[in-house]
Structures are given as C-alpha cells and as structure tokens.
A and B are shown apart, each in its own frame.
Chain A
C-alpha cells in the first residue's frame, strides 16, 4: 500500500472526529428536562387534567395540535370535544398557553432537551408570560 502511513493516520483522525460526540459525552448524564406545571391557571383547576390524559398528551400533543390547526384553518371546526366531554377552543396561543403560561419552563425546556425545534412561534404570538 502506497502512503500507508498517511492513509492510516488520516483514517485515525477521521474516526476520532466522527466518534467525538460519543467519547466526549461518555459518563456525563444529561439531566432530564425539568418542566414546571405549577402556573397559577393550573393551580386554580379543580382537577389537574390537560385537554386529554397526561400520557396521551406527552406522547401525542404534536399530533393533537396539528389536527387542531388543520381543522380550524381548513375545516372551520374551532371547538374540540375532549374524550371526557369537555369543550375546548382549539387554540395554541389561547387554550394551551392559557394554562401553560410558562412557555419557557414548559414547552421550551422539553423541546430543548429532546432537540426539537417547532416553528410555531415564528408566527403564533406568545401571550405575556405569567409565572
């Protein structure tokens, strides 16, 4: 093999750089997102329940919100009948953020932790933070 030294050194450097994130963060535990759900609006609720049960919301809130936006904008359905029979206005800025008024401590912390960047807030207005 011609230039074996250069090639092998190059490969070593390449592998080192490629695996950098793995050995750099080895042994370090990233603390899980510390989300706060103790906003005044939530504390006032007689039953601490989101639009749907928590496990469902945790797993599928993005699908629910996507369904809401589709139905409001395209099908004119603005009222959501939850599985427990309660009615909600399908609105991110008003229904979701009315209770979760601490967007930075709720939405953002978990989204940052899981490395997702939703583009909702490029257009949707964040009501004044009430913590």
Chain B
C-alpha cells in the first residue's frame, strides 16, 4: 500500500495546486474594461514618412497654404513674438541644413525658404530625454507623439531636439487662436507641442492637413512599403534630410 499512498498524495497535491491556480488565472484573465477594437478606416503603415518637394514651392502662397491648414486644424496659436508656437514653418537654407554649408551655392537656394516640421526621427532625442514619457515613439508606425496630458513643461525635449521642432506654451494659448477647431483640443500653459503627423486624421483615414492642401508638393506615405509613393519618389530622386550626421534618422526628406 506504500506506493498507492504516495500516488494518492501526488494526485491530491496536484489537484490542490490546480484549485489554487484557478483564482490566479482568473485574476489575470479579468480586465476591468472590455476588450477594444481598432478603428476600421484608419490608414496603416509601418513607417510613416514625408517627402517635401521644394521645387513645387514657388510663391509665398504655397507655403502659407500648408502652414495655415496645419495650424488651423490643430488650434496652433498665432502669437507672433519670440514665444511663438509652430508645428510647420519656414526657414532659410542656412538654418534648415546647417551641415551643408558650401561656400558657393546658388543664390536661389541660399535665399529659398524651406518648409520644416517635426522629422519623426527613428531615434528621437526628445523621447530619450522626456522624464515622464509624455513624448514617445509609436512602434507600430514610427510617429513621434506628444501626450499633452503628461507633459510637465520641463522643456528637456526642446533642448534635445536638433531641429527646433518643438514649441512651448509660455502662457494660455487660447486668446491667440482665432478660430478654434472643435475636432482637436487646444493646449494649456506650460505644455510643449509639435507636429503629430496628423495622427488624429490618419486614424480617420485622412491624409495630413498640410499634405491635403499642398497640391502634390508634400507626399506622405509608408517607407516600409517598397511600392508606396514616398519610396517611388526616393528611388527616382535624391532626397536630403536635415542633419543626418546626428544619427537621429529623420524621416522627412527634401527634394531640392
């Protein structure tokens, strides 16, 4: 009977373990909230990127159309002092491409304004320094996002960003917003903001606001897909990026 008692104890032990495991598994299986589903109409990509075709920016109006569309869509205040807030803006060649300062470049290029925005880097320094992870890189599509709820306004990200893509709200931005877009929140005092690649529009299946009004000068697409528009353009044209030597892997390409 020695053996059978041993077996009995083994089975009894295993059953007890099973009883104990059930509540633990239940606790893991239970979630406070029901499970979620992705928005069906969203545009999907592994790596969103943008190509800025500078040859198509001829008149001031070409720039302003894109800037206005973005700033209106995202309730970006028009402050006009050194405390300005900008998501997409104009800058001269010297500021846009400080690494490519040849002694002799065409005057036309030297004086031309470039359309700049957040580069949505693969290796974003702003994300590395953010102490609250208010800014983070979405692994699914590479967009560098801001969670305004979490931003504590320390401005480390502004110091870290080599492209000046980030702006700080020194005061309440609301008085400087002419027409509030009800579809998008405003920001509050003490929060940093920047371009979000129109993440909220992409989720609804729309192209970014600036791309939509650019008349083909801005091209938005998936770099991971060899058949995408951006990849085709970059296969046929030589695109340059802002300050690539820093190793941030910016994902906004310029055709000049």
Contact = CB atoms under 8 A, between A and B. Distances in A.
A40 B35 CA distance: 31
28 contacts: A63-B32, A64-B33, A67-B33, A69-B149, A73-B145, A74-B136, A74-B145, A74-B147, A76-B39, A76-B138, A77-B36, A77-B37, A78-B38, A78-B39, A78-B203, A79-B38, A80-B36, A81-B34, A81-B36, A82-B34, A93-B182, A93-B185, A122-B189, A123-B185, A123-B187, A123-B188, A125-B75, A127-B182
| B-side interface size class | 20 to 34
B148 interface: yes
Interface of B: 32-39, 42, 75, 136, 138, 140, 145, 147-149, 180-182, 184-189, 191, 203
Contacts of A81: 34-37
Contacts of B191: 123
A125 B188 contact: no
| A-side interface size class | 20 to 34
A78 B147 CA distance: 15
Nearest to A63: B32
B37 A79 contact: yes
Given A79-B37, A124-B185, A125-B185, 18 more contacts: A71-B36, A73-B145, A73-B147, A76-B138, A77-B36, A77-B37, A77-B38, A78-B38, A80-B36, A83-B34, A87-B37, A119-B188, A122-B189, A123-B188, A125-B75, A125-B182, A125-B184, A125-B186
Instruction: Name the prevailing secondary structure of the A interface residues.
Output: mixed
Interface in A57-98: 63-64, 67, 69, 71, 73-83, 87, 93
A-B pairs with lowest CB-CB distance, top 6: A122-B188, A77-B36, A123-B185, A78-B39, A124-B185, A73-B147
Interface of A: 63-64, 67, 69, 71, 73-83, 87, 93, 119, 122-125, 127
B148 A123 contact: yes
Contacts of A63: 32
Q: Interface centre among B33, B37, B180, B191, by most A CB within 10 Å? A: B33
A79 B39 contact: yes
